[in-house]
Amino acid sequence: MTAARPFFTLRWRAPAGLEILDQRELPRTERYVTLHDARETADAIRSLAIRGAPAIGCAAAYGIALEAALHAGAERPAFDAALERAFAVLAASRPTAVNLFWALDRMRRVLTDHIDTSPTELADALRTEAHRIVEEDVAANVRMGEYGAKLVPDGASVLTHCNAGALATAGHGTALGVVRSAVASGKRVHVYADETRPVLQGARLTAWELRRDGIPVTVLPDGASGHLMRTRRIDLVVVGADRVAANGDVANKIGTYNLAVLAHRHGVPFYVACPRSTFDVGLDDGSAIPIEERSPSEVTGFGSEVWTPANVDVFNPAFDVTPAELVTAIITEDGVIERPDRDRVEAMLAG
């Protein structure tokens, strides 16, 4: 078997472009597109050309850097006005993944720390900060992977949902980072990937990136996970997260809550792997997490094919909230929060 070509989720293209792997086209086509400003970046986030909480944050940071580069020759008031529009358009792209807002806050801090700086220098500082966010994300995922790998037994069957892999981050992945690190440490792991209706991040993306790494993967319809847990040995479930509230409640791809309930019923450990940038301690619990609702067209058919009766009512939430009591542990880059609750989350984040 010839080794698959390495891929990247996003990368800066000098002097001022953001190259992303267009995930809407995977696994059929591996096509990279270049984004030139904040609006194009926001459109790519909204349309899921780039998706996954940490990757959305990284893309948004670069979206600001792109806009800064475009206006670097302007006077400071015009530069500031252009950047305000960029922050607004990016913040409106998707509501649930807090990494988006976390990254925009980091970029804004660069602006507020450079009140008397020229637009040219500021554009450099903003690009440097975006690079830093990306580098930190990869490093966090690798550390998370090391903590998480210890929880994976040799010969494990691991069930996951959606795509929390290299494609959802700047590299390595969160939930799939745990799998990758376990495999790198010499353990044998078989991944079961929920297909993840309606956008099929599991069937299309998780299966694609694991196959490229030579990690055994079996795709199943979402509705089969209960039967899977009853009839085959599943050692653990590991998923990513889009936002974790102060009490440890976890928002992730729609269907994650179902999986957590099933895991509880079958005595299977349910792990969440996410970086500190996914915690939103400003929210008391998961009920305050904004849940994105997406277009009915994702549910009624695919492309030009429509399989529901015309004008049928559709409910299409992109995320759900799993209560902390169903989470065995949250794996972060700074350690594992066992049986997460308000105090343990606070203690980990303070450390």
Q: State the catalytic residues.
A: 242
Name the pairing type of β-strands 243-245 and 250-253.
Answer: antiparallel
Give whichever of 58 and 68 is closer to ligand MRU, judged by the CB atom. 58
Does position 174 interact with ligand MRU (CB under 6 A)? The reply is: yes
Whether 127 and 12 have beta carbons less than 8 Å apart is answered as: yes
Taking residue 45's Cβ as centre, other Cβ atoms within 10 Å add up to 25
Does position 95 interact with ligand MRU (CB under 6 A)? The reply is: no
In terms of phi and psi (left: phi > 0; alpha: psi -120 to 50; beta: otherwise), the region of 151 is alpha
What's the token pair of residue 212?
Answer: 């490229």
CB of 186 to ligand MRU, least distance (A): 24
Q: With CB under 6 A as the contact rule, which of the stretches 13-21, 35-43, 162-170, 217-225 interacts with ligand MRU?
A: 162-170
Does position 253 interact with ligand MRU (CB under 6 A)? The reply is: yes
Strand partners, 236: 158
CB of 59 to ligand MRU, least distance (A): 11
**Cα–Cα distance measured from residue 42 to residue 104, given in angstroms and rounded to the nearest whole number:** 12
Name the pairing type of β-strands 10-13 and 329-332.
Answer: unpaired
Helix (H) or strand (E) holding 145: helix 119-149
Does position 119 interact with ligand MRU (CB under 6 A)? The reply is: no
CB of 45 to ligand MRU, least distance (A): 9
Amino acid at site 154: D
Does position 168 interact with ligand MRU (CB under 6 A)? The reply is: yes
Strand partners, 329: 271, 338
CB of 338 to ligand MRU, least distance (A): 21
Does position 162 interact with ligand MRU (CB under 6 A)? The reply is: yes
**Cα–Cα distance measured from residue 146 to residue 172, given in angstroms and rounded to the nearest whole number:** 11
Chosen residue from 90, 318, 330, 336 binding ligand MRU by CB under 6 A: 318
Q: With CB under 6 A as the contact rule, which of the stretches 64-72, 76-84, 119-127, 233-241 interacts with ligand MRU?
A: 233-241
Chosen residue from 206, 252, 300, 332 binding ligand MRU by CB under 6 A: 252
Chosen residue from 198, 240, 248, 286 binding ligand MRU by CB under 6 A: 240
Name which of residues 254 to 273 contact ligand MRU (CB under 6 A).
none
What's the token pair of residue 60?
Answer: 């948004």
Does position 181 interact with ligand MRU (CB under 6 A)? The reply is: no
Exposure on the CB side of residue 2, measured as CA atoms within 13 A: 3
> What is the helix, strand, coil percentage profile of the chain, to 5?
45, 20, 35
Q: With CB under 6 A as the contact rule, which of the stretches 28-36, 51-59, 79-87, 336-344 interacts with ligand MRU?
A: 51-59
CB of 16 to ligand MRU, least distance (A): 25
**Cα–Cα distance measured from residue 326 to residue 265, given in angstroms and rounded to the nearest whole number:** 10
* Residues within the interface to ligand MRU (CB under 6 A): 51-54, 97, 162, 164, 168-169, 174, 201, 239-242, 252-253, 318
